[in-house]
Amino acid sequence: MAKRRRRAFGKIAERPKKKRGRYEASYPTPLEYCSRYETQPARQTRYFDTYDDADAWLYQEKRLIDLGAWSPVALRKADAKRRQEQAITFGEYAANWIETRRKPDGSPRTPDTINHDRGLLRKHLAPVFGDTPMDAVSVRQVNEWIDTTAETMRDTPNARYNAYVLLNSIFASAATDPIDDEGTTLIDRSPVVRSIARPPKKHKTVPVTDAQIWALHDLIRDRFKRPDIATGVVIGLYQGLRVGEVLALRRCDVFRETNQLSVSASLKDANVLDADQPRRLVRGNTKTQTSVRVNPIAPELREALYDYMDSHVAVDPEAPLFPAPRAGGFLGESSFNAVFRRACDMIPELQGCRFHDLRHNHVTRLSNVAGVAVASRDAGHASPRMTATYMDAVSPDMLASGYDRLATAANDRSVQSAASAAGVDDAIAARAETLALLPPETQAQVLKSLPPDVAAAVMVAMFNTKNE
């Protein structure tokens, strides 16, 4: 006969012949809940392997009744089982997030970005978090991943940083995106509470002069017999286009009557998300919606561009400006870069130069003479803050010119009235405006390179602007 013990609330009965659930804990169903929950048994029952577990359960049930938060045991068990079955793992949520996430403006992300995130998830995140339910990933688990990858990914800091950004973005969405009409989120808060510093750039932008770009143009045209790539190179410097935007250009994108160039697409691989399909180059979307633009054609570029079009581009308005020599269609980025890099290596000053460096050079030049706002509009950037990160192609001649302009501005101040002399001159204000867009560490480096009096004036201007 099972042993029974008297208790103030409920009872616990021993079941000696049972290997599991040796103790039966039960208590009468509260009468005040019977009308709310119909067809309830006379007693609420659960089974436990130890007496202490049974005793603790009865204590918790009594507390629920006293607090008015009680519900039938069977209903709670069924609800817990349903939640467990429906619990989504990090791997499942992250895979869906990568495929369906959109840009802040609502437009779809590019296939290249999706493919990149797939690789980060597969290589760096899924092995650690993949099988864990989203609401079970802890701050400690994330911190351990951060500490561990500081050693295991020491040689690939960019991949580690990008994986962290992806991890942080996924959990931020899970903690803020509602999953029902009541605004419920999948998790209460993100377990990502620490940050990882962006690794410093390994590649330094190569400043390119006009003489060097035309020497590169002539080398590619004459020695490599590629007038198409030679023309694409000068477009890169004088128009500041991304390589995909250059290769997606058609004859109809060049408006010779008004000397304007339309940028409305970027060359993409339509099958980039399907590794089993052959590469198929098409005109895809630009990087952002603001990248669609019509800009003036630089005067230095016009003659070379128009001569190339007259001699090498089909008269069809839809004809690619840079066709693939054998396969037809658009010239691929890999073929373009192969010639570009070989040619750069043959010019000592351009060794290590990347095509994207030409875009940095263009933005730096334009912002230097026309301001950040104009350069941002020309480059198709979403914000001037992004443009500021491109202003790093500063040549020694540009530095010398900057000092000359500061000296001229100082002379002009000496003849201004006392009222105007009390204000900050345009050169200092422009430099302060530009510095304010840069990261703090870059601001410090630039200020150190300036003469002490100029640096002090710029710092005062930045402070005054911030507090206006």
pLDDT at position 410 is 62
The answer for 113, left when phi > 0, alpha when psi is -120 to 50, beta otherwise, is: alpha
Rounded CA-CA distance 89/93 in Å is 6
Rounded CA-CA distance 325/328 in Å is 6
Q: Which residue has the tokens 């998300």?
A: 273
Contact 339, 226 (CB under 8 A): yes
Choose the CATH number for 210-394 among 1.20.1250.20, 1.10.10.10, 3.50.50.60, 1.10.443.10.
1.10.443.10
The answer for 236, left when phi > 0, alpha when psi is -120 to 50, beta otherwise, is: alpha
pLDDT at position 352 is 93
What is the full DSSP assignment across 309-358? Answer: HHHHS-SSTTSBSSB-TTT-SBPPHHHHHHHHHHHHHTSGGGTT--HHHH
pLDDT at position 412 is 62
Helix (H) or strand (E) holding 271: none
Give this prediction's pTM. 0.64
pLDDT at position 1 is 41
| Residue 42 structure tokens | 């006379």
Please state the domain extents for the chain: 11-86, 90-175, 210-394, 415-465
Sign of the alpha-carbon dihedral angle for 427, 429, 435, 440: positive
Architecture of the CATH domain 90-175: Orthogonal Bundle (1.10)
Helix (H) or strand (E) holding 265: none
Q: Which residue has the tokens 């429906």?
A: 86
Short-list 68, 4, 14, CA closest to 36: 68
pLDDT at position 163 is 97
What is the full DSSP assignment across 382-427? Answer: SSHHHHHTT-----HHHHHHHHHHHHHHHHHHHTS-HHHHTS--HH
Q: Which residue has the tokens 């809940």?
A: 33
Q: How far is CA 427 from the centre of its chain?
A: 34
pLDDT at position 277 is 79
Rounded CA-CA distance 107/129 in Å is 29
Task: Identify any residues that bridge with 268 across adjacent strands, giving them in sequence order.
Answer: 282
State the greatest distance between any 2 C-alpha atoms of the chain, in Å, as a whole number: 111
| Residue stretches of the chain with pLDDT short of 70 | 1-6, 81-86, 398-427, 439, 441-442, 445, 449, 463-468
φ and ψ at residue 347, rounded to 5 degrees:
-115, 110
Rounded CA-CA distance 353/219 in Å is 15
